[in-house]
Chains A and B, each alone.
Chain A
């Protein structure tokens, strides 16, 4: 039995279709019309304690619905969810003391008050013992370099500072699982790096299970070990980050710099993209074209100064998965 066990979970939403105008409104009051949207369609996965999961998919894929079910805000229509022995949507009060949630777009801090006041409030809400509170507070503020703005009102903080404070707010009660929903959105490059490093470090030292949703592939590449991709309510990939290349990254590209300008004869199954006068890019599928044969052909026919083979970036692969270009 894994730490988090999601088995065949489905969730369908009923959307009220409103007709316009007063007649429509009245008609809707008596005979409402509904549309159904399958947000999550039979998803299963399991996560071990201490894992660092990137949970991604295009908008409307069912990510946030799944996260909401995992955190106990919603209950599934069918299937079962077990997290550390709890059923999230049933044992709410006991369960949520073990989790932390960071919504990048929605702060849980008191807008008008210094950061520390929000922390004190959370201490009371989560019944955090004084000793643990002090220990966590000191440790996290040091790691995230928050000393300078701990006593400043939240409304005066930059987005990056606010996000760091929000992350600490979700961790003060030493949760076993933390959900990060877009934790770096709108944060500048340096701020993002600080946040990523902190998360990695915490995962390694404290063995906290972390689940990430993000649109920033850098987040995923730098932070997560494992990736779960969902699309249209179903899981389309579950495995290591590097596995994506093996599974989907069948495209290769060859950037060739010639010694002089020249015309290239068409090659079967290879797409030729001119980069500048003397540079050309050759794009092809692994299974169709043998790379050594292609290079041989080029070297014999033309005079070449430099050759560079590259794999596609993860980001473009994932975009392809979303677009249904690979399967």
Chain B
């Protein structure tokens, strides 16, 4: 059973890779463009901090470390959840009906049929580069505990964003157009997440903590490892919530997904 599933994942991945290599130059250019586009914010932060030294107590390497968590988690997440990002199109062009007609799990198919390697390499690659640049310079004394914490934080960060994607994807079953909602609840929220939470207005902080909890994707994990002064404004427990929150949010989104599938079958589209 497990072997069969792994085999299928292997075949899916092989198929995606083959499609990808049909246009080699294009693939390289696309990944490079994503990499550069996402670097924009980093370059700007770098230049800005040459002038100002610190942002609310964070120096340039600490900020890069904060960014790196955002990009690494997104890079991993998009490798699995491209299908959810593009789910609106899949529903509209009948692709979802085709998934229903195959003897495999629906979410399983959505996840493994698609993988945006351009985005994954662009974002993930940038995340790794940033991590390599910053990790040794921010004064973290790496130990087994901290490495485990880091891995769990990445895991939680991937799930938090995955849950948001799954939730927004599920809305496609009810609504015709969800692009704008995604812009509002995902991309705009993510723009704030590149910087220390503490610099923002209280209302924004509330959103980043309780509505679209990006703060737990990178700010609190970075705080655990870096211990900056602005952490004083938040309860200590926030440092440890990321993995649990990721699992909880994902389960919640999954329940919503299951419920909506029943609706899809009874309402059509």
> Do A and B form a real pair?
yes
Q: Which residues of B contact A72 (CB under 8 A)?
A: 100-101
A108 located at the interface, meaning its Cβ lies under 8 Å from any Cβ of chain B in the complex: yes
Contact call B103/A13, Cβ cutoff below 8 A: no
Contact call B101/A106, Cβ cutoff below 8 A: no
- 98-117 of chain B: CB within 8 A of chain A: 98, 100-105
Given known pairs A125-B103, A126-B102, the reply for A74 and B7 (CB within 8 Å) is no
- Determine which of B4, B11, B22, B267 lies in contact with A112 in the assembled complex, contact meaning CB atoms within 8 Å: B22
Given known pairs A74-B265, A74-B266, A121-B15, the reply for A101 and B103 (CB within 8 Å) is no
Closest to A97 in B: B103
Q: Which residues of A contact B97 (CB under 8 A)?
A: 68, 73
Contact call B265/A106, Cβ cutoff below 8 A: no
Q: Which of A52-60, A86-94, A221-229, A317-325 contacts B (4 or more CB under 8 A)?
A: A86-94
- Determine which of B11, B95, B100, B101 lies in contact with A124 in the assembled complex, contact meaning CB atoms within 8 Å: B11
Task: Apart from A71-B101, A113-B18, A124-B12, list 11 A-B contacts with CB within 8 A.
Answer: A13-B267, A68-B97, A72-B101, A75-B266, A93-B104, A106-B98, A110-B19, A113-B19, A120-B11, A126-B103, A153-B22
Q: Which residues of A contact B18 (CB under 8 A)?
A: 112-113, 117
Cα A112 to Cα B21 in complex, Å, equals 10
> What are 21 A-B pairs with beta-carbon distances under 8 A?
A13-B267, A14-B267, A65-B268, A71-B101, A72-B101, A73-B101, A75-B265, A77-B266, A89-B265, A92-B100, A92-B103, A94-B103, A96-B102, A106-B94, A110-B19, A112-B19, A112-B23, A117-B15, A121-B11, A121-B12, A126-B102
| Interfacial residues, chain A to chain B (CB-CB below 8 A) | 13-14, 65, 68, 71-75, 77, 89, 92-94, 96-97, 99, 101, 103, 106, 108, 110-113, 117, 120-121, 124-127, 153
Cα A125 to Cα B103 in complex, Å, equals 7
Interface size classification for chain B:
20 to 34
Q: Which residues of A contact B251 (CB under 8 A)?
A: none
- The contact string, 1 if C-beta is below 8 Å from chain A, for chain B 64-97, is 0000000000000000000000000000011101
A165 to chain B, nearest CB (A): 15
Contact call A73/B100, Cβ cutoff below 8 A: yes
Given known pairs A113-B22, A117-B18, the reply for A74 and B268 (CB within 8 Å) is yes
Cα A126 to Cα B95 in complex, Å, equals 17
Q: Which residues of A contact B19 (CB under 8 A)?
A: 110-113
- Determine which of B4, B95, B100 lies in contact with A127 in the assembled complex, contact meaning CB atoms within 8 Å: B4
Cα A59 to Cα B266 in complex, Å, equals 21
Cα A315 to Cα B104 in complex, Å, equals 41
- 237-269 of chain B: CB within 8 A of chain A: 265-268
B211 located at the interface, meaning its Cβ lies under 8 Å from any Cβ of chain A in the complex: no
Q: Which residues of A contact B133 (CB under 8 A)?
A: none
Given known pairs A112-B19, A124-B8, A153-B22, the reply for A101 and B268 (CB within 8 Å) is no
Q: Which residues of B contact A71 (CB under 8 A)?
A: 101
Q: Which residues of B contact A120 (CB under 8 A)?
A: 11
Q: Which residues of B contact A75 (CB under 8 A)?
A: 265-266
A17 to chain B, nearest CB (A): 13
B7 to chain A, nearest CB (A): 6
Cα A130 to Cα B165 in complex, Å, equals 37
Contact call B98/A108, Cβ cutoff below 8 A: yes
